[in-house]
Chains A and B, each alone.
Chain A
Amino acid sequence: MKNVIQAEHKKIFFLRFSRVYLLFTIGISLVAGFIFSVTTHVTQGRAITDLSVLEVVSANMLGIDLASILLIIFTGLSISREFTAETIYSSLTVCPDRKKFFMGKYITFFFLSIVLSVLLIALIYLSSQVILMMNNMDAANLANADIRQFVLGIMVMPVFYCLLTVAATIFFKSSGGGIAFSIIVIAFPALINMFSDTVQKVLLPIMPQSAIHSLSGTAAEGSFEALGTFTSIGLLLLWLVITSLIAIISFQKRDF
């Protein structure tokens, strides 16, 4: 497994495209977060000085949403190359155990998304401090339970959607399929919100967004999104396990 992970790591970082794209993701997400937090008078109709420290951090952390989408695209493109460039022939000749091959990719992208997520959150958090300082507001403090929960909860998002895209891209054998699946999962709750409470009550609690909102403390208390910590973690794990199992089973049966 260690060899497979090493090879997957090389597959990503040997490519100039990957290195540039990941740096771009960090840069643009940081810039986007900054713009979101200094334009609240336009987007929320409230001056930044009228916001609480958590609200400023929260607006800045919208950069993570963008990073998640960019990471979904990166994951889809990177993995689908195995099929479009037919490198799957040499990959599977070297590692014919397809479950192991899948897990190698999964673990590699897990680590990649964790590193990216932690790094980006640290940078955005620092940028939030700068914004708060520039506006003579109190600094954000991780000793504050709400801020800590928010930062830790939001960290899950890029990792979760990245792993979802790994499974979906292998299942669909295309970047289009993998990316579309994850974007639909992200966007679906917005669609559900257009339906009656009965529909929302059934569907919203099973969507990953509810779990992520609950973990980060942004799910309103008493809303259909609000779940307990363990339920949220369990729900996200269930999504990952089910999608991975489907991907592994279809991958094992497939002929190349």
Chain B
Amino acid sequence: MIEIKNLTKTFKDKISVNQLSLIIHPGVVTGFLGPNGAGKSTTMKMILGLTNPSEGSVTIDGQSYKDLKQPISKVGALINGDAVNPKLTAKQHLELIAAASGIPEKQTEKMLIETGLENVKHKQVNTFSLGMKQRLGIATALLGNPETVILDEPFNGLDVDGIHWLRELTKKLAQNGKAVLISSHLMSEMQMIADRMIILAQGNLIADMTVAELAETSLGAYVKVRCENNEELISLLTEKGADIKQNKNKELHVHHLEMKQIGLLAKEKNLALYELTKVQPSLEELFVELTEGKMDYVSTGTTPVEGRELK
């Protein structure tokens, strides 16, 4: 289990991570989300001892990463898929990591097969696509059969097959009791694989909960209602504390009231309902809602921004 306590990192005058406290649980895939510059990579690097915290601490089973006897059997990480000597072959890269950790060489063969790199193991990394480099990075992370796996943007460059494979792999790792921490900008993927979400913005912890819990707290969640008499229903629901908006199609978007309550109230007044649907925001919508106004880098040009439509 990784425990982060009051973790802070300041670069000159900029606070990259601010008093972050959280626990990465075993058996769970944890999504690590945040806009660019939110502090995700810095946090991951501080877990691995690559970046020194300004304040606070990170412990892995009660020890700092630097004090672990065989660190890669505790935490395996992919921080940058490109961070491989391009003149080495995939096998050589894994062999030297194995040598440095005292891991038997046969484990490298196993990882090459598991990550689908068996056929290219003797090719130099400079001939690899970004997706293949990501696979090699994941093979490196899993080489020591670690208890915790940290993957920073692992979906980058992966093809459809690679994405499916990684999706299954992360689920399998969690099922085997490993803690999995993944950062990604692909919200749809995160929604599919992560059991829990940690959202950072400008170095601060914005949310640490399951997707369902996130949706519950979201302003984007509402109940869509179509009724024979909107005016009467609006007045009835408003009395019960609902916040209601009506669109052009005469649909009511009811916030702060459960679907069941709306149905029962309508029944009491003998109002016929044509539709009663719970609308859950997507993770992307939740993310935009939670990080609104908390981004360090916002596009202002005419180029479409990922996850948003131009108005």
Interface size, A (range) = 20 to 34
Q: How many Å from the CB of A92 to the closest CB on chain B?
A: 6
A93 at the interface (CB under 8 A from B): yes
Instruction: Indicate if the CB atoms of B100 and A7 lie closer than 8 Å.
Output: yes
Q: Are B92 and A87 in contact (CB under 8 A)?
A: no
Docked pose: A14 CA to B75 CA in angstroms: 26
A256 B96 Cβ-Cβ under 8 A: no
Task: Please state if A85 and B85 are interface contacts (CB–CB under 8 Å).
Answer: yes
Q: How far is the CA of A93 from the CA of B142 in the complex (A)?
A: 12
Q: How far is the CB of A55 from chain B (nearest CB, A)?
A: 43
**B227 in the interface, Cβ–Cβ < 8 Å?**
no
Taking a contact as CB atoms under 8 Å apart, the answer to whether B140 and A96 are in contact is: no
CB <8 Å contact, A3 and B99: yes
* Known A3-B99, A15-B88; contact A86-B71, beta-carbon cutoff 8 A: no
Contacts of B50 in A (CB 8 A): 89, 92-93, 255-256
Proximity bits, B40-84, A CB within 8 Å = 1, else 0: 000001001111100000000000011010011001010110111
Q: Is the CB of A96 within 8 A of B96?
A: no
The yes or no answer to A188 lying at the interface (CB within 8 A) is no
Whether, in the assembled complex, B172 has its beta carbon less than 8 Å from a beta carbon of chain A, the answer is no
A87 to B83, CA, bound (A): 5
Q: Given A3-B102, A89-B80, are A94 and B71 also a contact pair (CB < 8 Å)?
A: yes
How far, in whole Å, are A12 and B49 apart by their CA atoms in the complex?
A: 25
Q: Which residue of A is nearest B53, CB measured?
A: A255
Question: Is the Cβ of B100 less than 8 Å from the Cβ of A3?
Answer: yes
Inter-chain contacts of B102 with A (CB < 8 A)? 3
Contact count band on B: 20 to 34
A84 to B140, CA, bound (A): 19
Q: Are B79 and A89 in contact (CB under 8 A)?
A: yes
Q: Please report which residues of chain A, range 69-112, place their CB below 8 angstroms from some CB of chain B when the two chains form the complex.
A: 81, 85-97
* Residue of chain B at shortest CB distance from A16: B87
Are A10 and B79 in contact, CB atoms less than 8 angstroms apart?
Answer: no
Beta-carbon nearest neighbor of A85 in chain B: B85
Flag if B97 contacts A94 (CB, 8 Å): yes
**Contact among B80, B82, B100 for A91, CB-based, below 8 A:** B100
Question: Does more than half of chain A's interface fall in helix, strand or loop, or is it mixed?
Answer: helix
How many residue-residue contacts, CB under 8 A, span A and B? 79
B95 contacts chain A at the CB level, 8 A cutoff: yes
Is there an interface contact between B96 and A14, defined as CB atoms closer than 8 Å? yes
B230 at the interface (CB under 8 A from A): no
CB proximity to A under 8 Å, residues B257-286? none
Q: Which of A7, A81, A95 has the most CB of B within 10 A?
A: A7
Q: Do B96 and A10 touch (CB < 8 A)?
A: yes
Residue of B nearest to A9 (CB): B99
The reply on A4 being an interface residue by CB < 8 A is: yes
| Interface: B86 (CB within 8 A) | yes
Chain B CB within 8 A of A6 CB:
yes
Cα distance, A117 to B6, chains bound together (Å): 52
CB closest chain-A residue, reference B89:
A14
A117 to B140, CA, bound (A): 36
Let me know if A85 and B83 touch, CB within 8 A: yes
B19 within 8 A of A: no
Asked if B48 and A93 sit within 8 Å, CB to CB, the answer is: yes
Residues of B within 8 A of A255 (CB): 45, 50-52
- In the complex formed, the residue of B with least CB distance to A256 is B50
Q: State how many angstroms separate the Cβ of B211 from the closest Cβ of chain A.
A: 30
A3 → chain B closest CB, angstroms: 5
A3-B99, A7-B100 are known; give 13 further A-B pairs, CB within 8 A: A6-B100, A10-B95, A10-B96, A11-B85, A14-B92, A85-B86, A93-B75, A94-B72, A94-B100, A96-B66, A255-B45, A255-B51, A256-B50
* 17 A-B residue pairs with CB within 8 Å: A4-B100, A10-B96, A14-B92, A17-B87, A81-B85, A85-B85, A87-B84, A89-B80, A89-B83, A92-B50, A93-B48, A93-B50, A93-B71, A94-B72, A95-B100, A96-B66, A96-B71
Ranked nearest first, the 5 interchain pairs of A and B with the lowest CB-CB distance are A7-B100, A86-B83, A255-B51, A10-B96, A96-B49
